[in-house]
Structure formats: C-alpha cells, structure tokens
Amino acid sequence: MSSTVQKTGRTWKKPPFIANPMLRWGLLIAVVAYVWWAITTLPFDWERIQDGVPRAIRIFKGAFPPSFIRGELLFDGFMESIKIAIVSTLLGLALSVPIAFASASNIAPKWLYTIGRGVIIVARSFHPVIVAILFVKAVGFGPLAGILTLTVYSIGFVAKMLAERIEEIDWGQVEAIRAAGGATFVTLLYAVIPQIMPRQIGLSIYQLDSNLRASAIVGIVGAGGIGSTLLNAFGRYDYDFALAITLCIIGVILVSEAISGRIRRNLW
C-alpha cells in the first residue's frame, strides 16, 4: 500500500461533550471554584488530625486480635437484630402494599396519589438513624424503636419500588377483567397482583437483607440489636471486642447477601 498521502490540510479535534464553549468553560471553572471553596471552608482540625496516625496505631494495636470473650453478648445482640429485621420486614411489607397502590398514578385518584407519594417521600428522606433517634425518644430504648424505624425504612423503599411496578403494568389485562364485569377488588386480584407478584417477592427478600444490615446500625443510637453492643464496646474503649463485633457484622452481611442473591436469582 502506498504511504504517500496527499496533504489535505484539514485538522480534526474531537467534538467536546458540551458544544457551547461558554457553557463548557463556565461549568469547568464553576466546578474547580466549588471544589476549592468547599475544601477551604470545611473546618479541618489539622492538629487533631496529625495526632491521627499515632492514635490509629494505638487503636489497631488494641483491636488486634479480636476478642470473642463476651461471645454471649455478641450472640444475643445478633439474635435481637435478626428478630427486629424479621418483624419490621413483615410489617413494612404489609403496609407497603396499600401505600404502593395509593401511590400509583394509574390506580389511585389524584388526592390519594399525593398523600401516598408524600408518605413515601417522608419515609425516604430521613436516614434510618434519625428516625431511630426520634422513635427512641418517643417509645424508649430497645428493639421496639428499632422495629418502628425499620418499618418506616422498609415502606420508603418497598412502597416506592412497588408503586413504580404498578405503574408499569400491562393495562390490557385490567381492561379485560373489567370488561368481563369484575368489580375493583376482583380486578386487582386477577389483573394486577399476578403482575406485581414476582417483583414483590424479590423486593421482600432484598428488604429482609437490607433490614438486617440496617438493624445493626440503628442499634448505635439505642434502638436495640448488635448496634447497641457495638456502641457500648466503643464507649468502653473495648476495641478488640468492637473489632470482633464488626467482623461478625461483615460476615453476617456477606452471608445474608449471598443467600438473598441466590434466592432471587433462582426466582427468575
């Protein structure tokens, strides 16, 4: 093949992602300026941070090897977390179904839709830890607060996903049942429920796993479960016990995620 090529004098540059140069440079400058401003205005306590490395070494020395002496406490904590997860998942699922229907634009009338979506938004906006704190203030320390918190947490996720699924159903099936003379409830049962069932089951299993993890966390603010055990350990500088607890939490999360994933995969 000949290597002499006519010079065309044409150049080429890759067309930029944002065509308008003003917009492009403006955005770039804005981003750089923001990052600079954010980093400089964030209050860093440099002295304390410098102490960090020797501190870290001290903590890690104290944390190794992980201590399982108080294994019974660990076990009780986990059992409580599991119970919290089970009850709150069930309660959350039960409540999510009607809320999801109330939040589906193709099923619920406008006023109901607004209420339903509002409930979901409020349930989702707050980190479960905040919700846990509030419930602890309201009903006291212990697993009750944890159950209430995780129920709200479940509703925030499951109801939203379910509502989206309901909005995506094949409307033809509903029409068919209606045309045959089905009243509202029967139509729901025959035309809607079968379509959302697979998603519902998948969500349930996912949420159970999710709640198990979350129950470890809300315990940190006093809502029961292994989180409370962890908090106490940190508070008493029992770093080796804390490490043991953390390792167990990681282990349980991994196992739970694996089981949950396996079950959901076999469902499809």
Partner 1 sequence: MVATTQPTGPEAIANREWSRYTTKERWRRYGLTALVALAVVWSLSTINIIWPWLWDAPEQMGDLFARMFPPSLEGWQEIGWTLLETVNIATIATFFAVFLSLPIALIAAQNTTPNRFTLWLGRFILVSSRSVNTIIWALLFVAVFGPGVLAGILAIIFRSLGFLGKLLGEAIEEIDRAPIEALESVGASRFKILVYGVIPQVMPTFFAVSILRWDINLRESTVLGLVGAGGIGIILQGAIDTFAWQTVATILLAIIGLVIIGEAISAYLRKKVI
Partner 2 sequence: MLRIKELVKRYGEEKAVLKNLNLEVPGESVVSIIGASGAGKSTLLRCINRLVEPSSGSIELNGTELTKLEGKALRLARRRIGMVFQGFNLIDRLTVMENVQSGRLGYLPAWRAVTRKYPQEDIDRAFHLMERVGIAHYADKRADELSGGERQRVGVVRALMQEPEILLADEPTASLDPKTSRQIMELLRALASELHLPVLINIHNVNEAKEYTQRIVGMRFGRIIFDGEPVDLTNDAMDDIYAGVPAEERGDAESSTHLREVAAR
Options 101-109, 142-150, 162-170, 174-182: segment touching partner 1 (CB under 8 A): 142-150
Options 21-29, 160-168, 172-180, 217-225: segment touching partner 1 (CB under 8 A): 217-225
SS (H, E, C) 52-121: HHHHHHHHHHHHCCCCCCCHHHHHHHHHHHHHHHHHHHHHHHHHHHHHHHHCCCCCCCHHHHHHHHHHHH
183 binds partner 2 (CB under 8 A): no
14 binds partner 2 (CB under 8 A): yes
Q: How far apart are CA 200 and CA 68, in angstroms?
A: 39
Token readout for 225 is 């479960």
Cα 101–218–229 angle (5° rounding)?
150
Interaction partner, residue 116 (partner 2, partner 1, none; CB < 5-8 Å by kind) = none
Q: Are 176 and 192 in contact (CB under 8 A)?
A: no
Interaction partner, residue 190 (partner 1, partner 2, none; CB < 5-8 Å by kind) = none
Window 36-75: contact mask with partner 1 (x via CB under 8 A): --xx-xxxxx--xx-xx--xx--x----------------
205 binds partner 1 (CB under 8 A): no
Q: How far apart are CA 43 and CA 207, in angstroms?
A: 37
Q: Give the one residue of 30, 32, 33, 35 binding partner 1; rule: CB under 8 A.
A: 35
CB of residue 7 to partner 2, shortest distance in Å: 5
Helix axes 110-125, 160-167, angle to 10 degrees: 140
11 binds partner 2 (CB under 8 A): yes
Nearer to partner 1, 41 or 184 (CB): 41
Tokens 């059992």, residue?
79
| Strand, coil or helix: 192 | helix
Q: Are 113 and 103 in contact (CB under 8 A)?
A: yes
17 binds partner 2 (CB under 8 A): no
For partner 2, the binding residues (CB under 8 A) are 1-3, 5-15
For partner 1, the binding residues (CB under 8 A) are 34-35, 38-39, 41-45, 48-49, 51-52, 55-56, 59, 79-80, 82-84, 86-87, 90, 121-122, 124-127, 129-130, 133-135, 137-140, 142-144, 147-148, 213, 216-217, 220-221, 224, 230, 234, 246, 249-250, 253-254
